[in-house]
Chain A
Amino acid sequence: DIVMTQSPDSLAVSLGERATINCKSSQTVLYTSNNNNYLAWYQQKPGQPPKLLIYWASTRESGVPDRFSGSGSGTDFTLTISSLQAEDVAVYYCQQYYITPPTFGQGTKVEIK
């Protein structure tokens, strides 16, 4: 199985400031035949199911605010919230869907400083 490791486990950011979450996979999730990274990001607020934010490592899901962006390739990826809003308080997960079983990172909790 591909192991997904996120850092940090938690972070506190002031409103309006940038939040950055890192995700590293134990092997590449880049499929060279189509040059796509099989990497998604989810947001989970307390008591709610996860919500898809980004897929193909950098493609924003419809309706997701443009302050959320994804980057990276191969084994190293980043989710950036450019200007943290109060409603962004949540746990964020990266997930690879390159091979079965799909696997998730352990989650990063984002709070307001």
Chain B
Amino acid sequence: EVQLVESGGGLIQPGGSLRLSCAASGFTVSSNYMSWVRQAPGKGLEWVSIIHSGGSTYYADSVKGRFTISRDHSKNTLYLQMNSLRTEDTAVYYCARGGVDAALAFAFDYWGQGTLVTVSS
């Protein structure tokens, strides 16, 4: 059974850093396209970042230069390193699995339960 479990969220001051983790089971993280998607409180969905099965990474303009996506094959875990956090980064962060095929890289068939990041002084 496919499962994604996020951790690492919490309350952080503006300008601070946080690393989110997404532990996967039931499949291999490095075989799929994996993304982070966030949802501000009471708002819609915003894609944040993707790591391709080949290792290439892409970011939303809103986080480019501040966030870094990575994965650990041995731990079957996806990460999101978030630096220079801003109040507008406050959201529930979901890891989401895309397809194995590039055409479905952004069609997210499994999602974690999410981890809340609150950026506030």
Tell me, yes or no, whether A binds B. Answer: yes
Interface residues of A (CB under 8 A from B): 34, 36, 38, 40, 42, 48-52, 55, 61, 93, 95, 97, 100-107
Tell me the residues in window 15-55 of chain B with beta carbons closer than 8 Å to chain A beta carbons. Answer: 44-47, 50
Question: Cβ of A52: which chain B residues have Cβ within 8 Å of it?
Answer: 107-109
* Contact B44 A105, beta carbon cutoff 8 Å: yes
Chain B hits for A50, CB < 8 A: 45, 94, 108, 111
Q: Which of B94, B104, B113 contacts A55 (CB 8 A)?
A: B104
Chain B interface SS verdict (over half) = loop
Query: In the assembly, what is the distance between CA of A100 and CA of B95, in Å?
Result: 17
Q: Mark B100-117, 1 if CB is under 8 A from A, else 0.
A: 000111111101111000
Q: Is the CB of A102 within 8 A of B106?
A: yes
Q: Which residues of B contact A (CB under 8 A)?
A: 44-47, 50, 58, 60-61, 94, 103-109, 111-114
Name which residue of chain B comes closest to A51, CB basis: B111
Cβ–Cβ < 8 Å partners of A100 in chain B: 50, 58, 106
Interface of A is mostly: loop
| Chain B positions within 8 Å of A36 at CB level | 103
Contact status B109-A97, CB under 8 Å: no
A97 touching B44 by the CB < 8 A rule? no
For chains A and B in complex, what number of residue pairs have CB atoms within 8 angstroms?
Answer: 50
Given A97-B104, A97-B105, A104-B44, A49 and B113 contact (CB-CB distance below 8 Å): yes
Note all chain B residues with C-beta closer than 8 A to A34. Answer: 103
- Assembly CA distance A44 to B107 (angstroms): 15
CA distance A104 to B108 in the complex (A): 12
The smallest beta-carbon distance between A72 and chain B, in angstroms, is 16
Contact of B45 among A48, A55, A104 (CB under 8 A): A104
Residue of B nearest to A62 (CB): B109
Rounded to whole Å, the gap between the CB of B99 and the closest CB of chain A is 9
* Residue contact A102 to B47, C-beta cutoff 8 Å: yes
Tell which of A38, A42, A97, A104 touches B46, judged by Cβ atoms closer than 8 Å: A104
Interface centre among A36, A49, A105, A106, by most chain B C-beta atoms within 10 angstroms, is A49
Q: Find the residue from B47, B107, B108, B113 having the highest chain A CB count within 10 A.
A: B107
* Minimum distance in angstroms from A61 CB to a CB of chain B: 7
Contact call B44/A107, Cβ cutoff below 8 A: yes
